[in-house]
């Protein structure tokens, strides 16, 4: 697994500590299955984005930590679902056997359900009322048919099918982009940001998320499983940005999306350099 | 499907209208899969319980309708999961093919995920802040490892196993009781009820939920699929209250639980007669 820029290491430690704290007590299979994926080594890009956006909006990073953990819980839930036999049937995730191979399919599904549920419970429990409600709405919108679930549904239908570039973009804006946008928005909301900076950060996150997904596609072709923690070429039956544009073309698109992302940061000046570091990392990562 | 007492028909109509309103726009497979189960004919016992408790606590029934719909969405999500091949592998639900037989396993799982997500989105969107947060916490606690998911996980492990009567009770308090308790609590909370009536209604709901599950076990042995909407004897590989106590014994236990439930209603006097009608229905239902 590739490392994020060192400046984010403190964020990652906080998020990991919060996730450990949030895991349900008890050592039944569903509790262990939830922790297995939620606490597996991960870059936690989405959670880092929450905290970086909170800090950029002059918020208290500590206050944003539960929201960052909630976004990461949603992401972990979606990874468990993605890997299921009925979906991508992937054997390897985060360098370990996929959740369903370790705990069985039924328990994996319950764990995914439990992680999504825990995300909403965390938001409701950690924030005072008006903020808790807004965060839950933003998260629910990102997960629903216009976001993650919708993207995954179109993705499933596209297996062994020819799809257009636009359809592919729609899949990834749903599967990946929506939760990136929710992460940036939630981070800014915990800082009490106004509508304008929230919109700028959402624009940044939307393009960053799509770039991140394109590089994921590239790594499925080029990556070293020992580094990516996933088997190579799992997505061979799907159309990807690489199958449309080739390896060099896809990397070029990712770089351009990161430039577009960075342009949305202009109003923040040099204070947004951490987010520029993040997009530079996404554009360049080879693992 | 057996009918609830006529007094609840108006409640059911309101909940159905709200569920129809909440279903996501669009006719993609995930949207249709969500609606297929969420809008299938159903007694909506849990939703009725929300509204009856709100009314009993002198609340506005209209105000409790979104919470009732949210509880019903959670229940629908859990039914989709229960029926999956990796869980109970059930062919029939609410008189129709199970969701995964109609839409495929992957889409069914996404729909269940989508319905749980929609439940939290509904609570966040429909209530003003302090109430929205409490309702989300109550719901999340009922779904988590101490409730629905935990009960289902123990249930899965008990297939083809000898389990104790106490373990069986724990399974059903999780799988069924927790959401009944959440339903009563959410209804009372929307009415602004105090801690004491909430506790009384939670005690009622806990016993009613367990009675409801025992009668479900009975109907799996005795029921007519044309009436119950489910195949008979699906649960033959599981220990049930019927396998412990026999048909007559199980019906006796259910009747006693309903009496215990009714005793918790004493503080409300005759105003709780609707809830007594509900427990009488649960104790007596043959379909």
The predicted-structure confidence for A243-277, as pLDDT tens digits, reads as follows 888 899 999 999 999 999 999 999 999 999 999 99
For domain B6-284, give the CATH superfamily: Farnesyl Diphosphate Synthase (1.10.600.10)
Average pLDDT over chain A, rounded to whole?
A: 92
For tokens 């199980």, what's the residue? B250
Q: What is the mean pLDDT of residues B7-20?
A: 95
Place of tokens 């899965």: B156
Kindly list the residues from chain A whose CB atom is less than 8 angstroms away from the CB atom of residue B152.
30, 110
Which among B26, B87, B157 has CB closest to A29? B157
Q: B164 burial class (0-12, 13-18, 19+ CB within 10 angstroms)?
A: exposed
Are the beta carbons of B31 and A109 separated by less than 8 Å?
no
**C-alpha distances out from residue A107 to A79, A156, A235, B107, B146, Å:** 14, 22, 25, 18, 15
Q: Please determine, for residue A233, whether its predicted confidence score (pLDDT) is greater than 70.
A: no
SS3 call for A28 = coil
User: Chain A partners of B133 at a C-beta cutoff of 8 Å?
Assistant: 124, 127, 129, 132-133
Integer Cα distance of A45 and B143 in angstroms: 28
Q: Using a CB-CB distance cutoff of 8 angstroms, which residues of chain B are in contact with residue A89? A: none
Characterise B231 by phi-psi region: left (phi > 0), alpha (psi -120 to 50), beta (else). Answer: beta
Distance (Å, rounded) from C-alpha A98 to C-alpha A88? 11
Q: Do A29 and B141 touch (CB under 8 A)?
A: no
Choose the closest CB to B145 out of A26, A125, A146. Answer: A26
Distance from CA of B213 to the nearest CA of A (A): 20
d(C-alpha B117, C-alpha A149), whole Å: 10
Q: Distance between CA atoms of B114 and B136, rounded to whole angstroms? A: 16
Closest approach of A43 to chain B, Cα-based (Å)? 24
CA angle B116, A142, A276 (to 5 degrees): 145
User: Which among A28, A111, A126, A140 is the top mutation candidate for probing chain B, defined by the most B β-carbons within 10 Å of its own β-carbon?
Assistant: A140
Mean pLDDT for A212-223 is 85
Question: Cα–Cα distance between B273 and B266 in angstroms, integer?
Answer: 10
pLDDT, position B119: 98
The pLDDT value given to residue B69 = 98
Residues of A with Cβ-Cβ distance to B109 under 8 angstroms: 81, 84, 86-87, 109
Return the residue in B120, B141, B159 with the most chain A beta carbons within 10 A, the one to mutate for interface testing: B120
- Measured distance CA(B7)–CA(B5) in Å, rounded: 5
Contact B29 A86 (CB under 8 A): no
Instruction: Give the one of B28, B77, B125 whose C-beta lies nearest to A150's C-beta.
Output: B28
Q: Residue A40, class by beta-carbon neighbours within 10 Å (0-12 exposed, 13-18 middle, 19+ buried)? A: middle
Cβ-defined contact of A129 to B124 (cutoff 8 Å)? no
At B1, the pLDDT band (50, 70, 90 cuts) reads very low
Å between A61 CA and nearest CA of chain B = 22
List of chain A residues whose C-beta atoms are within 8 Å of the C-beta of residue B86: 104-106, 109
d(CA A29, CA A107): 7
What are the angstrom distances between the C-alpha of A152 and each of A91, B28, B84, B140? 18, 12, 19, 24
Cβ within 8 Å, pair A24-B145 = yes
- Compute the count of residue pairs across chains A and B with CB atoms less than 8 Å apart: 154
Return the ∠ at Cα A184 (arms to A180 and A189), rounded to 5°: 140
Strand partners, B97: B92
pLDDT one-digit tens code per residue, B241-269:
888 889 999 999 999 999 999 999 999 99
CA angle A235, A236, A238 (to 5 degrees): 70
Q: Contact A86/B109, CB-based, under 8 Å?
A: yes
- Among A162-166, B27-31, B131-135, where is mean pLDDT lowest? A162-166
Among A26, A129, A157, select the one facing B133 at the smallest CB separation.
A129
Whether the Cβ atoms of residue A139 and residue A74 lie closer than 8 Å to each other? yes
DSSP string, A67-133: HHHHHHHHHHHHHHHHHSTTTT--SEETTEE-HHHHH-HHHHHHHHHHHHHHHHHHHHHHS-HHHHH
Q: Which residue of B has its CA nearest to A104?
A: B86
Q: How far is CA B1 from the centre of its chain?
A: 15
B14-54 pLDDT, tens digit per residue, is 999 999 999 999 889 999 999 999 999 999 999 999 999 99
**Which pLDDT score, from 0 to 100, does residue B94 have?**
85
Q: Where are the domains of chain B?
A: 6-284
pLDDT tens profile B135-178: 999 999 999 999 999 999 998 888 777 888 888 999 999 999 99
How much is the pTM?
Answer: 0.93
- Work out the pLDDT band at A229, boundaries 50, 70, 90: low
3-state secondary structure of B231: coil
Cβ–Cβ gap A141/B132 under 8 Å: no
pLDDT category, A217, cuts 50, 70, 90?
A: confident
Distance from CA of A114 to the nearest CA of B (A): 6
> CA A152 from chain center: how many Å?
14
Please determine, for residue A67, whether its predicted confidence score (pLDDT) is greater than 80. yes
Yes or no, beta carbons of A146 and B24 under 8 Å apart: yes
């Amino acid at each position: 697994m590739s490392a994020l820029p060192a400046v984010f290491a403190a964020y990652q430690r906080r998020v990991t500590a919060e996730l450990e704290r949030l895991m349900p007590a008890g050592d039944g299979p569903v509790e262990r299955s939830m922790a297995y994926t939620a606490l597996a080594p991960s870059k936690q890009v989405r959670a880092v984005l929450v905290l970086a956006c909170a800090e950029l909006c002059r918020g208290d990073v500590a206050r944003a930590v539960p929201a960052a953990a909630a976004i990461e819980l949603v992401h972990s839930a979606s990874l468990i679902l993605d890997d299921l036999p009925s979906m991508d049937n992937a054997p390897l995730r985060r360098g370990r056997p996929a959740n369903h191979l370790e705990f069985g399919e039924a328990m994996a599904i319950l764990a995914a359900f439990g992680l999504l549920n825990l995300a909403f419970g965390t938001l409701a429990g950690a924030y005072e009322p008006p903020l808790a409600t807004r965060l839950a709405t933003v998260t629910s919108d990102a997960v629903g048919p216009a976001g993650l679930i919708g993207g995954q549904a179109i993705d499933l239908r596209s297996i062994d099918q020819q799809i257009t570039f636009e359809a592919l973009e729609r899949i990834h804006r749903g599967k990946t982009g929506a939760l990136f946008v929710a992460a940036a928005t939630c981070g800014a909301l915990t800082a009490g940001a106004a509508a304008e900076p929230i919109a700028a950060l959402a624009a940044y996150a939307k393009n960053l998320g799509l770039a991140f997904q394109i590089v994921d596609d590239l790594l499925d072709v080029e990556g070293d499983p020992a580094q990516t923690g996933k088997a190579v070429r799992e997505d061979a039956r799907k159309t990807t940005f690489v199958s449309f544009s080739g390896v060099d073309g896809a990397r070029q698109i990712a770089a351009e999306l990161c430039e577009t992302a960075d342009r949305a940061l202009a109003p923040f000046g040099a204070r947004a350099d951490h987010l520029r570091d993040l997009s530079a990392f996404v554009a360049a990562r080879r693992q």
